[in-house]
Structures are given as structure tokens and as C-alpha cells.
Amino acid sequence: MTVTYGPVADDFIVKLDGEFDESVAKDVRETLDTLIETFDFRRLVIEMSDVDFLDSTGIGVVLGRFKKLRKMGRSLCVKNVNNQVDKVFSTCGLYEVVSKL
């Protein structure tokens, strides 16, 4: 999994590339937490067009960052989710709290 990021207007875009599973979840969570604590932005956008697999630990990382950001008065959304990951997010109800662009 590679993680690239940068600000765009009031958003902070984080692009994930690869499989988002237990083997990378800790590193991705730590990277996202560092970005959240370091940069000032209104909305975190997770760009997922190149995420070809996601398991429950990946869902947990996304949901945990949503909760952290909400406590800070910020928001999180996902963007360009492929069909496989979209089905996982829909099935687990993630879209009930995290918006999709």
C-alpha cells in the first residue's frame, strides 16, 4: 500500500494504492492520524480508485478516522471507490456515516 497526500483548497486529499487489509492497516492508521494532527483542513478526502481490496480492518481504520475527525469538527469522505470496495462499504453500512463523492 502506498499513501500519497496533499492539500487542495479546504480539503486534504489522501490517495491510497494497493490492498487495504490487516497487513497495512496499522501503518495507514498511523499515517492518517499524523496528517490529521499536523495539517489544518476542513475535510479529509480518501481517494480510493486504486484500492483493489479492503477487509474489515480497513473499514475500521476509515471509521476510526471519521470518529476522530468528527470530534474535531471536521469531516471525512471517500472518493472514486471501485465496485468491489463500494459493495463492502454499502454492505457494512459505512455510507450511513461517511459520505461518498
For residue 88, give the CATH number of its domain: 3.30.750.24
Domain that holds residue 79: 2-100
Q: State residue 88's pLDDT score.
A: 93
Q: Which residue has the cell 494532527?
A: 37
Number of domains in the chain: 1
Q: List, in order, residues 6 or more apart from 76 with CB less than 8 Å away.
A: 43, 44, 45, 46, 62, 65, 66, 69, 70, 98
Q: State residue 29's pLDDT score.
A: 98
Q: State residue 65's pLDDT score.
A: 98
Are 16 and 51 a contacting pair, CB within 8 Å?
Answer: yes
Q: Could you read off the pLDDT of 61-94 as tens digits, one per residue?
A: 999 999 999 999 999 999 999 999 999 999 999 9
**If pLDDT is split at 50, 70 and 90, which confidence band does 20 have?**
very high
Q: State residue 51's pLDDT score.
A: 97
Q: How much of the chain exceeds pLDDT 90, in percent? A: 99
